[in-house]
Amino acid sequence: MVSIPEYYEGKNILLTGATGFLGKVLLEKLLRSCPKVNSVYVLVRQKAGQTPQERVEEILSGKLFDRLRDENPDFKEKIIAINSELTQPKLALSEEDKEVIIDSTNIIFHCAATVRFNENLRDAVQLNVIATRQLILLAQQMKNLEVFMHVSTAYAYCNRKHIDEVVYPPPVDPKKLIDSLEWMDDGLVNDITPKLIGDRPNTYIYTKALAEYVVQQEGAKLNVAIVRPSIVGASWKEPFPGWIDNFNGPSGLFIAAGKGILRTMRASNNALADLVPVDVVVNTSLAAAWYSGVNRPRNIMVYNCTTGSTNPFHWGEVDKVSLWGSDWPGTCSIVQAGVQLSVLLPQPPKCWDYSHVPPHLATLKMMKTITRLHKAMVFLEYFTSNSWVWNTDNVNMLMNQLNPEDKKTFNIDVRQLHWAEYIENYCMGTKKYVLNEEMSGLPAARKHLNKLRNIRYGFNTILVILIWRIFIARSQMARNIWYFVVSLCYKFLSYFRASSTMRY
């Protein structure tokens, strides 16, 4: 079977969502690991006075593309920015651009979506469902299309506890919903949203389930594959460990806990923290498109890109991992889901630098940060307090189809993932790439933190001795109780020591 880089050689790729977290990582990996790809058409809209070309240029100048710049300085020549608005009819493509896309495109990677959990239902349907349908209709006109790759979410059917690699019936007929939203006003849409989404927690997951059904039905004559990642986190290995560029999902929680804002989080200790590194999702997508392009399977291929079934990590283990292997002072403990927490922060933690901001604005900024954090906790509690079982047979099959070289280059084997190391790199990545904090003083800061820990342990020891001297040593009853507990512990240890000796 042809290798993955060989398959992409000479191909023309159409990519949506290139300005998003997942899309830009996919773009970098495709150009770096498949250097003979012919061209990548990137659908980008104008935003904040920037043209699509300017937005793409800004992305390509970022840290993410440093390695690609070193290995292939001319990579930009392969990227063609096309002005498009996914929420507009026919994707707002010019006739000239549309003709080029129809004539040239071989593979589509549809990564664009709104990932806001609290998105208005009308906007979520427009971005996640209608835009997907319009792209499918465009794909049907393409003369040389080989694969339509759609990126969904593993939580699209979170109303089920066991989720197979199939497209389930939708919660509602997408066409009927789209027609209804055309005559409803915003007030009515907001009123019926809770009833429509039912046992799904938010509009994002609800509309992603509808989008899968649209892809299955409208793309019945296309060669379609769907990749469903769980909670997408920082990179594991590529292009370097810990790359992240946003506050979404666990990133915001890690930053808030590390900075001392978040002291506790609500979760179930036994719930799976199904994080999947972004480079694993990208490798799975590229490999899945390769497999469908080479083998032309009869049915739509669905891949549950998760970690819980092969390399489980639980939320209860978060506070046991060295999350803050840096100069951050914070620690975070897990509180059982459902327990109500009240957070009192009369002033910003000292580790936040507001020296350049007037006091009243600093407090206002801090309160906005806390409000944003609280909303994130509320949205995430559903995922931190529940667990799901995803079938990953197709992912395992895909991994076994890769030749030894492709297994290294497009690694999707999450059994090799070491969680403690990954989480520490994740936190370091948020410091370096999201907060843009200086890393040169890290060794000195860690040494300072160790001193503070030693001082705390010493203080606790002195405190125990003082309590002993003041309360226990002066009371005969307290001494009797103390001696009783100590002797009981001694007998308990002696018993187990004797039992162990007898066994050996």
Per-residue model confidence as pLDDT tens digits over 138-154: 999 999 999 999 999 99
3-state secondary structure of 241: coil
User: Residue 323: its pLDDT value, please?
Assistant: 47
User: Residue 341: its pLDDT value, please?
Assistant: 38
Q: Please name every residue paired with 184 in a beta bridge, in sequence order, or none if there are none.
A: none
**pLDDT tens-digit map of 374-402:** 666 777 788 888 889 999 999 999 999 99
Reference 56, options 29, 34, 77, 35; nearest CA is 77
CA-to-CA distance for 105 and 113, rounded, in angstroms? 21
Roughly how many angstroms between the first and final C-alpha of the chain, as a whole number?
56
- Mean pLDDT (the chain, rounded): 83
* Mean pLDDT of the region 27-40: 95
Give the up-direction half-sphere exposure of residue 184: CA atoms within 13 A in the CB hemisphere: 16
CA-to-CA distance for 234 and 425, rounded, in angstroms? 8
Tell me the whole-structure pTM to 2 decimals.
Answer: 0.82
4-237+274-312+388-411 maps to CATH 3.40.50.720: yes
User: Residue 439: its pLDDT value, please?
Assistant: 66
The answer, yes or no, to whether residue 504 has pLDDT greater than 90, is: no
The answer, yes or no, to whether residue 458 has pLDDT greater than 90, is: no
Q: How many CB atoms lie within 10 A of CB 169?
A: 9
Lowest mean pLDDT among 17-21, 200-204, 369-373: 369-373
The first and second tokens of residue 324, run together, are 């803050």
* Mean pLDDT of the region 287-292: 96
The answer, yes or no, to whether residue 266 has pLDDT greater than 50, is: yes
The answer, yes or no, to whether residue 414 has pLDDT greater than 90, is: yes
The answer, yes or no, to whether residue 494 has pLDDT greater than 50, is: yes
Lowest mean pLDDT among 290-294, 399-403, 464-468: 464-468
User: Residue 502: its pLDDT value, please?
Assistant: 45
**Sequence-separated (6 or more) residues with CB below 8 Å from residue 202:** 117, 118, 119, 379
Query: Chain centroid to CA 117: how far?
Result: 13
The first and second tokens of residue 73, run together, are 């300085």
CA-to-CA distance for 15 and 59, rounded, in angstroms? 14
At 161, give phi and psi (nearest 5°): -85, -30
User: Residue 41: its pLDDT value, please?
Assistant: 96
DSSP 346: S
Q: Tell me the pLDDT band of 316, cut-offs 50, 70 and 90.
A: confident
Most confident segment among 68-77, 83-92, 223-232, 435-444: 223-232
Q: Please name every residue paired with 104 in a beta bridge, in sequence order, or none if there are none.
A: none
In 182-245, the DSSP E strands lie at 224-229, 231-233
CA-to-CA distance for 439 and 164, rounded, in angstroms? 43
Higher local confidence (pLDDT), 441 or 238: 238
The first and second tokens of residue 424, run together, are 């520490």
CA-to-CA distance for 436 and 353, rounded, in angstroms? 13
The answer, yes or no, to whether residue 3 has pLDDT greater than 70, is: yes
